[in-house]
Amino acid sequence: MSPTISCSSVYKIFGDNAQKLLSESGGNVDAKKFQEAGCIVGVNDASFEVNNGEMLVVMGLSGSGKSTLLRCISRLTDATAGKILIDGEDICLMNNKQLIELRREKMGMVFQNFALLPHKTVLENIAFPLQVKGVTTDNSIHKALEMVELVGLKGRENYFPRELSGGQQQRVGIARSLAVEPDIWFLDEPFSALDPLIRKEMQDEFLRLQSVLNKTIMFVTHDFDEALRLADRIAIMKDGIIEQLDKPDNIVLNPATDYVRKFTEDVPREKVLKIESIMDSADPNASGDMVVNKNDIIETVAEKILSSKDIIRVTDDNNSVVGSINPSKVIKVLFGG
């Protein structure tokens, strides 16, 4: 199956003479040249794919270009060069009408500061994407009520955004982005403006939603822990360049650059690594009743493993044995050494 989002050599360069330089160089982009000419390179040669139902988290500190990359893919800004395919269609070539059509049918986006319309109630905000699409008031309100229930805001339909807490406002933002039932879901630092406790709660809520909805997601954050918690794969960006793009456990185990290592150093391994990454090959002596799934995070099954005296079998999703795990390995991950 072809990937839902596919980027190849995407560049975004800010600066007055960026266009001129680009046409001079005949379409070939050399980021260094632009930087020398005083331009700012927001996104530098980004190439990656996001598969259907996958969640890619783009992680980076402020100014790393992560939000710019997201905006190139949603075409809120035009990429300077490169190809961005959504379901095989190059959105950089779309005209305004096609773009509106695409956004109305396939895309939803959540914003850091919620970006709710202050003059509309919760219900009207959620119904808004449907109403601009031309859905009748009755139908859009009906659908919006469903969404209100989905994000757990029942009873607050007629509140105005200003009357809600940050977490509740973001629930509205999430409901609005889902109202048109998009395939692709963009989230731009959705939980960064929230208090730590609320943030945790919203992350859980988000995972619950995703397990039900199974959207293709691009999620931008500056919080490495958040990225680890949520992602199928993580892209770590610095100065517009994607430093590493991999699964969370691979990033923690094998950081590609020193920059990435700085993030991974303090990460508690047991919270990230799956059993799969420390298991041995299937051991015929393992005979106990206890089994763990290879996709379990170590922390969640550590107690179970350590309390057993036997070697424990590891199974895959089909319940067939694929390996075994030695408690000493778990101890090593937990306490180092």
Partner 1 sequence: MDKNYIEIIRNSKPAQFGILLIVFLFLYHLIPHSEGNYFWRLPSLLGFIPIKLNEVIYAALYDWFPLKVWDPIFEMYEEKAAFREFTKSISKGLLFLITFVRELLLGGDKIIDVFVSDAWLKENDWMSWPALPWTAGTVGAFLLGFQLGGIRLALLGGIGALYVSIFGNWVPSIQTLSFVLITTPICFVLGLSFGIWGYLDKKVETSLQPVLNVMQTMPQFAYLVPIIALFGLGDHAGSIATIVIATPPMIRNTILGLKRISPEVVEAGLMSGCTKSQLMFKVLIPTARRDILNGVNTVIMQCLAMVVIASFVGAKGLGLNLKVALNSLKIGKAAEAGFCIVLIAVILDRFTKAWANKQVDYFENLTFFERYKLLIIFGISILIFSVVAFIANGYFDKINYLYVIPIEKGLTFAHYIDAAVDWVWDTFFYSLNSFNKFLLTQVLGPMKKAYLGMPVAATLTLTMGVAYIIGGIRTGLLVGGMMLFIAMSKYWDRALITMYMATFAVIMASLNGIIVGSIFAQTQRGSKFILSVCDFFETFPSFVYLIPVIFLFNITDTSVLIAAIVYATVPATRYTVWGLNSVPLSLHEAGTMSGVSRMQRWTNIEIPLAFPTIMLGVNQTVVFTLQMVILGALIGTEDLGQLIFGALSRAQDGPGVAITLGLFVSLMAISVDVIVRKWAEERKKALGLD
Which of 48, 128, 159, 259 touches partner 1 (CB under 8 A)? 128
CA dihedral 267, 272, 275, 279 (to 10 degrees): -40
> Phi and psi at residue 263, in whole multiples of 5°?
-75, -40
Vertex 259 angle, CA 253 and 262, to 5° = 65
143 binds partner 1 (CB under 8 A): no
**Between β-strands 107-110 and 89-90, what pairing exists: parallel, antiparallel or unpaired?**
unpaired
Residues between 82 and 121 that touch partner 1 (CB under 8 A)? 96, 100-101, 103-104, 107-109, 111-121
186 binds partner 1 (CB under 8 A): yes
Choose between 41 and 116: whose C-beta lies nearer to partner 1. Answer: 116
Whole-number Å distance between alpha carbons of 152 and 164: 13
Which of 7, 59, 123, 202 touches partner 1 (CB under 8 A)? 123
Q: Hey, CA dihedral for 252, 254, 256, 258, is it positive or negative?
A: positive
- Whether 81 contacts 11, CB under 8 Å: yes
**Between β-strands 312-315 and 321-325, what pairing exists: parallel, antiparallel or unpaired?**
antiparallel
Map residue 124 onto helix, strand or coil. helix
**Minimum gap (Å) between residue 149 Cβ and partner 1:** 15
Choose between 47 and 158: whose C-beta lies nearer to partner 1. Answer: 158
Residues between 259 and 298 that touch partner 1 (CB under 8 A)? none
162 binds partner 1 (CB under 8 A): no
Choose between 97 and 309: whose C-beta lies nearer to partner 1. Answer: 97
Summarize as ranges the residues that interact with partner 1 (CB under 8 A).
71, 74, 76, 96, 100-101, 103-104, 107-109, 111-121, 123, 128-129, 131-133, 137, 141, 158, 173, 176-177, 180, 186
